[in-house]
A and B are shown apart, each in its own frame.
Chain A
Amino acid sequence: MENAWLIPLFPLLSFLLLLLIGKRMKEASAYVGILMTLASLVFSILVLFERFQEPSYLVKFNWLTIGDMHLTAGFEVNQLNALMLFIVSLVSFLVHTYSKGYMHGDERFHIFYAYLGLFTFAMLGLVISPNILQTYIFWELVGVGSFLLIGFYYYKEEAKAAAKKAFIMTRIGDVGLLIGMILLFWQTKSFEYSEIFKAVEAGSVSNTMITLTAILIFIGAIGKSGQFPLHTWLPDAMEGPTPVSALIHAATMVAAGVYLVAALFPVFSASKTALLTVAVIGGFTAIFAASIGIVQTDIKRVLAYSTVSQLGYMMLALGSAGYVAGVFHLMTHAFFKALLFLAAGSVIHAVHTQNIEEMGGLWKKLKWTAPLFLIGTLAISGVPGLSGFFSKDEILAAAWEGGHPVLFILALIAAFMTAFYMFRLFFMVFTGENRGNQKEVHESPSVMTLPMLVLGILAIVGGYVNTPWFGSFLGDWLVDGNTALGHAHIEGPAWIMFAATIVSLAGILLAYLIYGKRSIAPDWLSGKGGILHTILYNKFYIDEFYQITIVAITKGISYFLRFIDVFIVEGLVKAVTGMVQGLGNIGSKLQSGQVQTYGAVAFLGLAVLVVIYALTGGYLR
């Protein structure tokens, strides 16, 4: 564990190497990235296993000293950090491997790997930061990595716009985080997590202040994790290459918001209001995004809304004091959502379209991708036996025990919707007749299917580390007697599990009847031009709403400021320069080159001087 600081440095090294010599290495630069992330993964696994036996490990050194205030930097390995290290480096390694096939033939292949390295470095740095200031630095770096990768196809207008949108939207959240961080520092005189927790526990911070800071920090998490109302950037971010969507916008970066709330959980749990805010936002986002996901026709957008919805689930769990449930779902979601995205990438790779209405009947043609996609779909739908089932069950139990029956119902409906839209996606892509005009559909190379296979296995077995049947190993380990983190395992009533199962199976059945067997017409709920469909298809018009309110207001202010800048500030400057220039012009006009004029002027001056001399008698005072 002493060497955990090396883990983020490997991808950084890969980033620097590829920047320097990537151009010459061309596609061989993939090996640099893969090897470096493999090193990170090996170290992460070692650290994780070491953490099973040993206590947490913390190293810090003085970074800046301002007056009598010391800012420290360092790294920390506790349960949450070790788990996150493992998840991030694993998904990153698999995505690096997968990209070798997916990005094959791209002109900026090495740049892609360099950016991936930068992002992985930032994300790994984020999860081992021992203080909130360092977290914030890496938090922003992660945003930069995401910006670069979304805008990777920079020659596409949508990609450029999406990259800008993602950066600006998350920045809005980051302002909240920054203010919350400053308030925390002001109140507790420290950026260290441990010091902050101590101060909060000792009650030296007033209750309203805790609520305020917690909510401000949560705003940062809202931005990063794509929660309502800052969720609109995440579906647009799908303009980036698909492996990027899998790594950043499904498994790791968007989970950073959840991670932040989990890392600062003692602060949140000290305030009932803050927890309730988290739970309500999470629960609302879960059902809101799921309802949009039902009608989208772009394979990646469906998955994107599903990600938003699942992140809402995690927030709901954390807000209901279900620390373990939230982190557990974070882990399982990372596995099955990365799997789904990689499988979706494989489908796109094969058929060269993202529109599911142009797909269909791919089950026989994609022998590896299709079953793996099915595993991911089953896992996210919460079918018993797979990882998603256990974590979702934990969340539902946490919501019930947390005393939010309304949120519990919302989560249950969202689970139904999740199962429905995921299987709608599955049936539309893999069954029925091919509606597109793809002539040759090839299965992806094994460099792409193998990472999916690993994730597929994890998506099946990943849930068994924390089950009501075989013991809550993960929960016990995560909480480890720390009362601030709540219960290691929430024993919900047994009917919750049955309810969750029935709901998800009902969703699957409905999807099967509509899109698989086609015994119910797809426009059974409302016609394709129907009002409900239109609203959902246009994502509740949130983007349009922002366009006419916030964007318009901002533009108005900008025009006003531009007016001031152009006419007042620049006018002043122009007046000054104009005056000087005018004087110069007059001066240069005087330089006519006529020697006789000069002489006359000189003589005139002399005469004036003499007259003055004569009048004053030589005593000029």
Chain B
Amino acid sequence: MSQVPASAFLALALILFCIGLYGALTKRNTVIVLISIELMLNAVNINLVTFSKYGLYPSINGQVFALFAMAVAAAEAAVGLAILMALYRNKKTVHIDEMNEMKN
């Protein structure tokens, strides 16, 4: 089983992050935006795991961090969706460009 080079993992993480960023910045639907943010978080997780295996000082810490990040992301997604629900009830919309209450 030939070794997959670290650069491949990093490239995957980069592509994933960019897709997430693009989605977070351009999509109008707030649910999609939240999902895109999850993508970016996962890209970070891949980075963490990659460096825990192929890093300059490989150790298990990276994987532990990745697990933490996943747990926190799950909690964050729950809170985010709850807020979204509340917003939807008030404004009857999930479009992010109409949620400009902090304008000016």
Contacts and interface: CB of A to CB of B under 8 A. Distances in A.
B96 interface: yes
Given A593-B104, A596-B96, 11 more contacts: A588-B104, A591-B102, A591-B103, A593-B100, A594-B96, A595-B96, A596-B26, A596-B33, A596-B97, A599-B25, A603-B21
Contacts of B25: 596, 599-600, 603
Interface in A585-615: 588-589, 591-596, 599-600, 603
Nearest to A591: B104
A591 B25 CA distance: 16
Q: Which range contains the number of A residues in contact with the other chain?
A: 10 to 19
Ranked 10 nearest A-B pairs via Cβ = A593-B100, A593-B103, A588-B104, A593-B102, A600-B25, A591-B104, A596-B25, A599-B25, A594-B100, A594-B97
Interface string B76-104: 00000000000000000000110111111
Contacts of A594: 96-97, 100
Interface of B: 21, 24-26, 33, 96-97, 99-104
B41 to A, nearest CB: 15
A588 B100 CA distance: 13
Interface of A: 588-589, 591-596, 599-600, 603
A76 B78 CA distance: 95
Contacts of B103: 591-593
Contacts of B99: 593, 595
A599 B102 CA distance: 14
29 contacts: A588-B104, A589-B104, A591-B102, A591-B103, A591-B104, A592-B100, A592-B103, A593-B99, A593-B100, A593-B101, A593-B102, A593-B103, A593-B104, A594-B96, A594-B97, A594-B100, A595-B96, A595-B99, A596-B24, A596-B25, A596-B26, A596-B33, A596-B96, A596-B97, A599-B24, A599-B25, A600-B25, A603-B21, A603-B25
A599 B24 CA distance: 8
A589 B100 CA distance: 13
Nearest to B27: A596
A583 to B, nearest CB: 14
B56 to A, nearest CB: 18
A454 to B, nearest CB: 80
A124 B103 CA distance: 71
A593 B102 CA distance: 5
Contacts of A591: 102-104
Contacts of B96: 594-596
Contacts of B24: 596, 599
A145 to B, nearest CB: 58
A591 to B, nearest CB: 5
Contacts of B21: 603
Contacts of A588: 104
A463 B104 CA distance: 87
A599 B99 CA distance: 15
A595 B101 CA distance: 10
Contacts of A592: 100, 103
A591 B104 CA distance: 5
B102 to A, nearest CB: 5
A218 B100 CA distance: 77
Contacts of A595: 96, 99
Contacts of B97: 594, 596
Nearest to A588: B104
A367 B104 CA distance: 85
A313 to B, nearest CB: 78
A592 B103 CA distance: 5
A609 to B, nearest CB: 16
Contacts of A593: 99-104
Nearest to A595: B96
A2 B33 CA distance: 97
Contacts of A600: 25
The CB with the most chain B CB atoms within 10 A, among A588, A596, A599, is that of: A596
Contacts of A596: 24-26, 33, 96-97
A589 B97 CA distance: 16
B64 to A, nearest CB: 27
Contacts of B26: 596
A535 to B, nearest CB: 72
A596 B101 CA distance: 13
A594 B30 CA distance: 12
A599 B40 CA distance: 13
B100 to A, nearest CB: 3
Nearest to B28: A596
A479 to B, nearest CB: 86
A595 B100 CA distance: 8
Nearest to B97: A594
A38 B53 CA distance: 112
Nearest to A585: B104
The CB with the most chain B CB atoms within 10 A, among A588, A591, A593, is that of: A593
B55 to A, nearest CB: 20
Contacts of A589: 104
A592 B104 CA distance: 6
A596 B104 CA distance: 15
A295 B24 CA distance: 98
A332 B24 CA distance: 103
A589 B101 CA distance: 14
A341 to B, nearest CB: 71
Nearest to A603: B21
B17 to A, nearest CB: 11
Nearest to A587: B104
A410 B100 CA distance: 92
B22 to A, nearest CB: 10
A513 to B, nearest CB: 91
Nearest to A596: B25
B85 to A, nearest CB: 18
A600 B104 CA distance: 18
A603 B96 CA distance: 18
A593 B26 CA distance: 15
Contacts of B100: 592-594
Contacts of A603: 21, 25
